[in-house]
Structure 1
Amino acid sequence: MSGFDSNPFADPVDVNPFQDASVTQATSGATETTGEFNPFSANDMGNHTGTTIPISSGSTQPAILQTSVEQSAQAAVTAAAQASLVKQQEELEKKAAELERKEKDLQNRTAGRTNTGTKENNWPPLPSFSPVKPCFYQDFDEDIPEEYHRICKRMYYLWMFHCATLFLNVLACLAYFTVDAQNGVDFGLSILWFLLFSPVSFVCWYRPVYRAFRSDSSFSFFFFFFVFFFQVAVYIIQTVGIPRWGNSGWITAISMIGSNLAVAVVMMVVAGFFTVNSVLGIILLKMVHSKYRRTGASFTKAQQEFSQGVLTNRNIQTAAAGAAASAAQGAFGSA
């Protein structure tokens, strides 16, 4: 009956899984050997020193940094090469533009020539309907080397200032004449100096220095020095203002202060213009002489150029041949 007395719904054996022999043995051994672990204790750190992986004793720089430095250096070299190419391209474009401009200028100059191939005169710049035509050809960019542009243009400006001063001298002498009729001689001479010295100065000292710089002519240099030296002397005389010489200089201007102050002021202004002419003339004479010494010109070359010019001049050859023929005919006729 004992079998019928048991509870069929109760567990036949009350089993504790943690009381298993293998489990209890493992847990009891782990407790003995493991102990409490402190990761910051010195003993535990010492126990794990053998298992740490040491840092490589080689270069501390990562390999990827070397690669970036090399790439940056190559990029710098490439950028420098590109900048150099861009600069060369800009220089080539500038040279091409300069050549194109010169070609256009050459075409314009060629179009301005006559059918015979000679250059058409363009100075003085007169209108096309004027009955008087230009007498000279002048082009600084074409005729004068670039290193002589400035000095040659200064000589041209001096000549224009010289003509303006002579014209103002006429007005000052006119005012001088209105104050006293006895000063009519100065007024008449001032008109003569203006009409005479304006074109003569252009032909006698400006054109020679223009030709000298254009063709490096020793003869033209010597001719300019000879004439322009006297021109500077004339400037000084005009600045002084000797009475009855047709110049409104300092002497005649100061002499008018007591008679008519307004006329004296006008004459003093003109005297100042003559003074500026004198100073500029001396300065430019020295500048031209310094340029002349650099060109290698000499008196011997001037003599050779003069002799060659005389021998090759057709007019002189014709005149000499005519004179020789006349002399021969006279000699045969008398015989």
Structure 2
Amino acid sequence: MAAKQGLGLDNLVDVLKAAGESTRMRLLALLAVGDLTVTDLTEILGQSQPRISRHLKLLAEVSLIDRYQEGAWAYFRLTAEGAGVALVRDLLSFADPGDAVLARDAARLSTLKQSRSEKAQAYFSRNAAGWDELRRLHVSEADVETALKQVVGPDPVDGLLDLGTGTGRILQLFEGLYRRGVGVDASRDMLAVARSNLDRAGITKASIRHGDIFNLPLDDHQFDLVVIHQVLHFLQQPEAAIAEAARMLSAGGRLAIIDFAPHSVEHLRDEHAHLRLGFSRQTMAEWLDKVGLRVEQIVDLAPEQDRGGQLTVTIWLARNHRQVVLADLTPGDRTVAAAGRT
């Protein structure tokens, strides 16, 4: 078992100074259970925006919270890693949930989440008819999810990245598998739906980010499992998205792609903005091999003919083989290998 990460005396004092103030402790308690904006926090705490921003700056300076931009909005959440955050979580565990101030904050947060949920559901309802029409063309989502879980397997992963997260369903489906999850989507409407669904499911170890699938706002090699679920057929350059996904994979990490096999349902181009009418096994294997990923498993799910199905759903699972090889080499062997590539 790895030794518990500790803090030097100066860092320990800095963390305790930053957290040891009532407003900042309230902020940490709120940010431990979800992503919130300064506006959200001012509404919950009933304090001015400059005051809240100043407290957030102090917490960020000791790496207790993360800040990320989503258009004109900046979101904050408790940092996922680090001894300082571990200490803060321990401190929060001693807080009395019946404390009047904390209980009022929790109630206001609940009201805020309910408002989010209503807005998200309104968007979802406006688009549900089109999605239902598409679902009738292929095997049920339940069958796809069952097959995907079988392909991925039961072994836990440290980090899960869901690209084109949509409703956040993948983050919910694998909630028991990952320690930290991130969902990325280009649609702010869908991000609102995903956040609402995670709130409703009580999932706090996953965060939602606005981002471009071709230029992700994330560091390299941070995820053991990356999922691209029914996204590639919307893209002009799906192979570029696969390359970006490969960049995210840790040594030995896996990429799961769920999309359609080649088909001839032309009306999907105009009615559902599909740019690609499915992908062949050979094409997908070539794209994956080009970025150092080796296909380990392919599963085809035939359409349900009794429902008028016309689309076969395919699941590809590939592993970051190139990095596994390098990770297994000794430092001396890595030098030799590098020399051999020049």
- TM above 0.5, one fold? no
Bucket of the pairwise TM-score, normalised by the shorter protein: under 0.3
Higher strand share: 2
| Structure having greater relative contact order (Cα 8 Å, sep ≥ 6) | 2
Higher helix share: 1
Q: TM-score, normalised by structure 1?
A: 0.23
